[in-house]
Structure 1
Amino acid sequence: MDLASVIGIVLSFGLVVSAILTGSSLTIFISVPSFLIVIGGTIGASLVNYPMSYVVGVVGVIKNAFFTSIQPPAEVIAQFLDFSNRARREGILSLEPVVKEVDDEFLRKGLQLTVDGLDPETIQEIMETELSYLDERHQSGADVVAVMGTLAPAMGMIGTVIGLVQMLQTMSDPSTIGPAMAVALLTTLYGAILSNLVFNPISGKLKVRHKQEQLIREMVLEGILSICKGENPRIIEEKLNSYLAPKDRKQGE
């Protein structure tokens, strides 16, 4: 679980709720009509903008912001040093038992293609295609969440207009002014909270996750091609270290 995301959500909502409780009861900020306008309108507009599978899949996309773990680059380098040393000592076929032990699907596929004896150009073409479609899937997921972040405050403004119209039409009855104004203001509040505390931050986290995973995938591809070409482990280490900032690089003994 991503601790930063959890802390951020808890901290932001906790401070908002605490600020409310210092001056009033939390119950006066609960409005079913406002909730329906913002949530229903956001989901409905998203369904117009995207295929249903994209919108339904947004739950899994949001889950990735909290639960996806990225393998540290240092572990990737150490892994490939082990693979390259084994391949140089015992041959490429010695990596075949390792393939079944690898959890990462992208790495497992690259190793299998290498063990199968495909040439580096073919392996690069296949794995770069995988990378391009990975980029497309990640981008579409982040885009759906970002669009929902744009739609939520817009739905809040629509709710505000609805509440104001209801208030103006019933000005002769003072008892109706309060509920109508509550709908008008709470829809704006709900839209702003969902946009700025949920959807937009999660969209940003997904984009960061994608960049991290893309870096690991590119390192894996470089390592696979280097092993396939029979390069020296020291050279492979230097190549993979070049993907990292100088402070993050670890040199072998």
Structure 2
Amino acid sequence: MDPLSLVGLLLGVGAIIGGNLLEGGNLAFLLNGPAILIVLGGTLGAALLQTPPHLFWRALKRVKQVMVPPKIDLEKRIRKIAQWSALARREGLLGLEDELDREPDGFVRKGLQLLVDGNEPEVIRDAMELEMDAKEQQEVHAAKVFEAMGGYAPTLGILGAVLGLIQVMQNLTDPERLGQGIATAFVATIYGVGVANLVFLPIANKLKAHVRAVTLGRILIIEGIIAIAEGENPRNIEIKLSGFLE
């Protein structure tokens, strides 16, 4: 659980609402159905038009990582690689076959399989880096869906403001509809800018941070497996990989 994400969202929304109240504003004024429909509906529509279905669904599935980030224990991985290295020195690379069945991570299993099969270090590196880069690009594209929504939302807010002003101009003689038009005009802009900067863009950046963390963990795995393939001393491998720790 990442409590800072929840705290950040609540703090951002609370600051806006609190500032509005301190200035004498009415909270009910911010609750405007047409403005919500224009901004959120328009932003979602633009995102659906831009994004292939499989990528859009992947992006939605990644939202949970904002609150529950992937667990990446670099110290544990370093210890595991050191153990693999010691086992390989005692029993040879074939001694790592049993580790394949116990390893839950598909990327790590692929590296171990390449290692056990006796491939050259450069062959192992090329194969693993190719998969790592492909997975990284897929996850970055998913994050960019929210980045795009963060770009559309303010523009849709402006569109809502223009529509509200058009309504105002058409009903200058009707005070009741005049007030509704002005409310839609200004509140739509607030929604557009607010949802972009408090929700969509932060989600995109948080997901990109998780992608970088996962990629760092995979780079560590690659370097560790290559070191084992080259026959390095387990202690030296552990010291070398400790450079990945903060």
TM-score, L = length of structure 1: 0.89
Q: How many residues align?
A: 245
| Cα distance change, pair 215–8 in 1 and its aligned pair in 2 (3 A) | same
Deviations 1:135-181 (A, max 9, x none): 21122012111110010011000000000011011101112111011
Asked whether the equivalents of residues 72 and 213 of structure 2 are also in contact (C-alpha less than 8 Å), the reply is no
Is the counterpart of residue 211 in structure 1 residue 223 in structure 2?
no
Look up the match of 1:251.
none
- Inter-partner Cα distance in structure 2 for 1:154 and 1:6: 26
Q: More displaced, 142-151 or 233-242?
A: 233-242
Please give the secondary structure, in 1, of the residue aligned with 2:67: helix
- Inter-partner Cα distance in structure 2 for 1:51 and 1:88: 48
Look up the match of 2:11.
11
- Inter-partner Cα distance in structure 2 for 1:43 and 1:29: 21
Look up the match of 2:180.
179
The equivalences for 1:1-253 within 5 A come to 1-20=1-20, 23=24, 25-244=26-245, 248=246
Counterpart of 1:232, as a letter, is N
Please give the secondary structure, in 2, of the residue aligned with 1:67: coil
Unaligned runs of 5+ in 2: none
Q: Offset of 1:66 from its aligned partner?
A: 2.3
Q: Which runs of 4+ in 1 moved over 6 A?
A: none
Q: Offset of 1:37 from its aligned partner?
A: 0.5
- Inter-partner Cα distance in structure 2 for 1:169 and 1:122: 71
Counterpart of 1:55, as a letter, is F
Asked whether the equivalents of residues 70 and 212 of structure 1 are also in contact (C-alpha less than 8 Å), the reply is no
Deviations 1:187-216 (A, max 9, x none): 111111110100111111112112111111
Please give the secondary structure, in 2, of the residue aligned with 1:231: coil
Unaligned runs of 5+ in 1: 249-253
Q: Offset of 1:95 from its aligned partner?
A: 1.7
Q: CA RMSD in A?
A: 1.8
Deviations 1:32-69 (A, max 9, x none): 11111001110111122222332333211222222232
Counterpart of 2:241, as a letter, is L
Q: Offset of 1:4 from its aligned partner?
A: 1.8
Please give the secondary structure, in 2, of the residue aligned with 1:242: helix
Deviations 1:119-148 (A, max 9, x none): 322221211111110121122012111110
